[in-house]
């Protein structure tokens, strides 16, 4: 099992063209758990940690779009300029594992793994982010909604590297909330990102379906109300509608019933926070 450590994107994509079954890793925080527990015996690994282009991020105020390279660690998103630009992403980043995990883990890893419990993914969905992919001979950009196609399944082709994401900022409030079995170091049982842009509410759910779910019915309903005057009954009704759009299952982490309930409570809470802000 050889390990390659390319120092540029073009080197990475040619290596991948040569070794199409290679496993791509950045922090490796998910991957190594599987290796340590003998669930995975990869033949070839390409580590993307040393590629400068994938460690870049920038905030383009003119276009209102934030670019985050696929290897930027969550620790960088928790505070500072990125947190000011994308508060919901900062909140989601702060719930990822522990400080040690956040120093290594990245959005590229969340996108590559594409678990419905990936903490950054509901944020990408609610903020209409797009995913940048590159192979040795082509580049393309997909909306997040077309990128994630199932639990741990995405539209990345075997010869493509996820290079980064572009995330449009919002001109209204945005926030993220998550339920786990305790307050730190947990994989999400249910999570919600709510964002308001041009006085329009968007809401995306994690861990309650095969993919991240954008609640189009709940969104149309709440956007037909006056969101400058949300009372408790409207917020609760919004939560109920969000619950109805979730498609949770029972698994080792929780039950479908609890998840359906939790995601509604979180959505109600976020709507109240966002519209009273």
Partner 1 sequence: MSQHEYYSLTVNGEQHPVQDAWIGESLLYVLRERLGLPGSKGACEQGECGSCTVYIDNAAVCSCLVMAATAVGSQIATVEGLNTDGSLTDVQQAFVTEGAVQCGFCTPGLVMAVHHLLDHNDSPNEQEVKEALSGNICRCTGYGRIFAAVESVISVRKSSAS
Tokens standing for 37?
A: 């527990």
Task: Choose between 37 and 232: whose C-beta lies nearer to partner 1.
Answer: 37
- Rounded Cα distance between 171 and 157, Å, is 34
Task: Give the CA radius of gyration of the chain.
Answer: 19
CB of 273 to partner 1, least distance (A): 20
Instruction: Write the DSSP symbol of residue 137.
Output: S
CB of 257 to partner 1, least distance (A): 27
CB of 37 to partner 1, least distance (A): 7
CB 51 within 8 A of CB 7: yes
Task: Choose between 109 and 248: whose C-beta lies nearer to partner 1.
Answer: 109
End-to-end Cα distance, the chain: 53
Task: Choose between 149 and 185: whose C-beta lies nearer to partner 1.
Answer: 185
* Edge-first strand listing for the sheet containing 190-197: 174-179, 190-197, 200-206, 213-214
CA 23 vs CA 33, 161, 180: distances in Å: 14, 11, 29
Tokens standing for 31?
A: 């991957």
Task: Choose between 1 and 277: whose C-beta lies nearer to partner 1.
Answer: 1
Which residues are near partner 1 by CB under 8 A?
1-7, 11, 15, 25, 27-29, 31-33, 35-37, 41-42, 45, 47, 49-50, 73, 75, 97-101, 103-104, 184-185
CB of 85 to partner 1, least distance (A): 22
CB of 7 to partner 1, least distance (A): 8
Task: Choose between 76 and 272: whose C-beta lies nearer to partner 1.
Answer: 76
- Rounded Cα distance between 134 and 139, Å, is 4
Task: Choose between 82 and 205: whose C-beta lies nearer to partner 1.
Answer: 82
- Rounded Cα distance between 270 and 39, Å, is 38
CB of 23 to partner 1, least distance (A): 10
């Amino acid at each position: 099992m050889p390990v390659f450590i390319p120092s540029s994107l073009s080197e990475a994509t040619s290596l991948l063209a040569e070794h199409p079954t290679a496993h791509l890793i950045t922090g490796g925080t998910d991957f190594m758990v599987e290796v340590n527990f003998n669930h995975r015996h990869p033949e070839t690994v390409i580590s993307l940690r040393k590629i400068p282009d994938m460690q870049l991020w920038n905030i383009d105020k003119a276009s209102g779009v934030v670019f985050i390279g696929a290897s930027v660690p969550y620790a960088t998103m928790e505070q500072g300029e990125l947190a000011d630009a994308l508060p919901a992403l900062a909140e989601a980043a702060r719930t990822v594992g522990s400080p040690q995990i956040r120093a290594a883990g990245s959005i590229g890893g969340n996108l590559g793994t594409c678990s419905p419990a990936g903490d950054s993914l509901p944020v990408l969905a609610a903020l209409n982010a797009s995913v940048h992919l590159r192979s040795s001979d082509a580049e393309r950009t997909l909306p997040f909604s077309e990128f994630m196609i199932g639990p741990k399944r995405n539209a990345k082709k075997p010869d493509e590297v996820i290079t980064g994401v572009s995330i449009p900022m919002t001109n209204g409030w945005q926030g993220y909330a998550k339920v786990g079995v305790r307050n730190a170091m947990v994989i999400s049982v249910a999570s919600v990102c709510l964002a308001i842009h041009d006085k329009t509410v968007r809401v995306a759910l994690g861990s309650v379906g095969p993919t991240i779910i954008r609640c189009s019915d709940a969104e149309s309903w709440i956007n037909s109300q006056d969101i400058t005057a949300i009372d408790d009954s409207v917020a609760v009704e919004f939560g109920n509608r969000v619950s109805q759009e979730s498609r949770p299952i029972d698994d080792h982490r929780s039950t479908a019933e609890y998840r359906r309930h939790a995601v509604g409570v979180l959505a109600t809470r976020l709507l109240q926070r966002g519209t009273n802000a």
